[in-house]
């Protein structure tokens, strides 16, 4: 009888252990990076910069695993954990595929099997257009400054301010128009210092209950 009870306890323990293990690995990333035979790759949270998993890439292939309790911005780091080869992405609990190359790890990085990442990439591309235009205007502003043309310098400065206002207005409109998307809470929190408190409150109040209770929803609320 004692042996029977002991056997049952062991079985129950193994079931619990297996259950806990699977719970901790609800984000699985299967990756392939061309041009790499042997290198380390790390997975971390972009916010806390805590290393969550690391593996050795063998013949270009690897698998990273971690547990997510909410949608978060994540980061894969190639080579050394302090490397500048950092690929940022938004993820939720999912099984996703990642492909890239050794020489252009960040630029060629692509994630498949994730609609959230596609939405994130489209949003990021639209915001990047504002940033790229601002860099062009900044280069022109510096050139004008060297020439000592004060009027032209002030004119470009004013244009850059208006461009930034348009970018923030785009962020606000996106967040207000997509209340069920975790990206709305994420992008609002990211640009919180450029958005007025009144608009931040309106954005948060407009979010769905699920998004309000998400990781970035909670961080947005705490910043109000």
> How high is the pLDDT of residue 186?
97
Average pLDDT over residues 62-87: 94
> How high is the pLDDT of residue 17?
46
Q: Is the pLDDT of residue 100 over 90?
A: yes
Q: Is the pLDDT of residue 204 over 70?
A: yes
Distance CA 55, CA 42 (A): 7
- Domains: count for the chain: 2
pLDDT tens-place string over residues 146-183:
888 888 999 999 999 999 999 999 999 999 999 999 99
Distance CA 97, CA 118 (A): 13
User: Is 131 in the same domain as 174?
Assistant: yes
**Neighbour-count burial of 91, counting CB atoms closer than 10 A to its CB (0-12 exposed, 13-18 middle, 19+ buried):** buried
Average pLDDT over residues 197-204: 97
Distance CA 129, CA 34 (A): 29
Three-state DSSP state, 75: strand
- Quickly list H helices, 24-149: 115-147
91 neighbors 117 (Cβ within 8 angstroms): yes
Please report, for the chain, how many H helices and E strands are present, in that order: 7, 8
* Band of residue 23 on the pLDDT scale cut at 50, 70, 90: low
116 neighbors 91 (Cβ within 8 angstroms): yes
**Neighbour count for residue 218 (Cβ, 10 Å):** 14
Q: What is the 3-state secondary structure (H, E, C) of 40-66?
A: EEEEEECCCCCEEEEEEEECCEEEEEE
Average pLDDT over residues 48-60: 93
What percent of the chain has a predicted confidence (pLDDT) above 70?
Answer: 90
**Neighbour-count burial of 222, counting CB atoms closer than 10 A to its CB (0-12 exposed, 13-18 middle, 19+ buried):** exposed
Domain boundary pick from 79, 113, 147: 113
Rg (CA), the chain: 23
> How high is the pLDDT of residue 15?
45
User: Is 104 in the same domain as 11?
Assistant: yes
In terms of Cα–Cα distance, which of 92, 93, 75 is closest to 84?
Answer: 75
Domain boundary pick from 44, 79, 113: 113
Distance CA 4, CA 8 (A): 6
Q: Is the pLDDT of residue 12 over 90?
A: no
Q: Is the pLDDT of residue 13 over 90?
A: no
Q: Is the pLDDT of residue 134 over 90?
A: yes
User: Is 69 in the same domain as 164?
Assistant: no
Domain that holds residue 210: 117-222
* Band of residue 49 on the pLDDT scale cut at 50, 70, 90: confident
Domain boundary pick from 94, 113, 132: 113
User: Is 121 in the same domain as 109?
Assistant: no
Average pLDDT over residues 195-222: 96
Distance CA 188, CA 77 (A): 25
Q: Is the pLDDT of residue 124 over 50?
A: yes
Q: Is the pLDDT of residue 97 over 80?
A: yes
């Amino acid at each position: 009888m004692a042996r029977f009870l002991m056997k049952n306890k062991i079985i129950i323990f193994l079931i619990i252990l297996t259950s806990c293990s699977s719970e901790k690995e609800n984000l699985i990333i299967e990756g392939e990076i061309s041009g790499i035979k042997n290198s380390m790759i790390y997975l971390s949270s972009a916010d806390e910069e805590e290393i969550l998993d690391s593996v050795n890439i063998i013949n270009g292939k690897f698998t990273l695993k971690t547990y997510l309790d909410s949608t978060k911005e994540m980061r894969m780091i190639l080579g050394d954990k302090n490397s500048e080869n950092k690929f940022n992405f938004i993820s939720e609990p999912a099984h996703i595929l990642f492909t890239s190359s050794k020489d252009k790890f960040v630029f060629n990085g692509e994630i498949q099997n994730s609609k959230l990442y596609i939405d994130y990439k489209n949003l990021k591309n639209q915001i990047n257009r504002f940033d790229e235009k601002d860099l062009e205007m900044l280069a022109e502003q510096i050139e004008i400054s060297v020439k000592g043309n004060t009027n032209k310098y002030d004119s470009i400065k004013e244009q850059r301010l208006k461009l930034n206002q348009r970018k923030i207005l785009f962020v606000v409109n996106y967040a207000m128009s997509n209340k069920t998307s975790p990206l709305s809470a994420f992008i609002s929190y990211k640009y919180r210092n450029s958005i007025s408190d009144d608009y931040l409150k309106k954005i948060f109040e407009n979010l769905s209950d699920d998004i309000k209770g998400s990781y970035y929803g909670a961080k947005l609320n705490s910043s109000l």
